Amino acid sequence: MATAPVETKVKAASAATFLVGIAIAVLNAVAADSSLLGPLPAWLQAITLPLVPTALTWLAGYQARHTPRSPISS
């Protein structure tokens, strides 16, 4: 059984998650305090941080083109 290529949408979403994760890690290393989200209460910061990569991953997957595939013959 041949494996299908990875769809463009999956590649785009994965790349976005990776890049946002690196950006968050760099921001954490540079500003090792909560000043970036300082105005937000701690409980809201805990919800916001995982939502940022999730939202950007969804957006990247939504915006990427669908990879056309040939019909499967049985």
71 in a domain, yes or no? no
Structural domain boundaries, residue 59: 8-63
Q: Is the pTM of this model over 0.85?
A: no
Q: Please state the domain count of the chain.
A: 1
55 in a domain, yes or no? yes
> Which amino acid is it at 51?
L
Tokens of 57: 């991953």
1 in a domain, yes or no? no
* DSSP states along 23-46: HHHHHHHHS-STTTTTTS-HHHHH
Nearest to 10 by CA among 64, 55, 53: 64
73 in a domain, yes or no? no
The pLDDT tens digits for 15-66 are 888 888 778 767 766 665 656 667 877 777 777 777 777 788 788 777 877 7
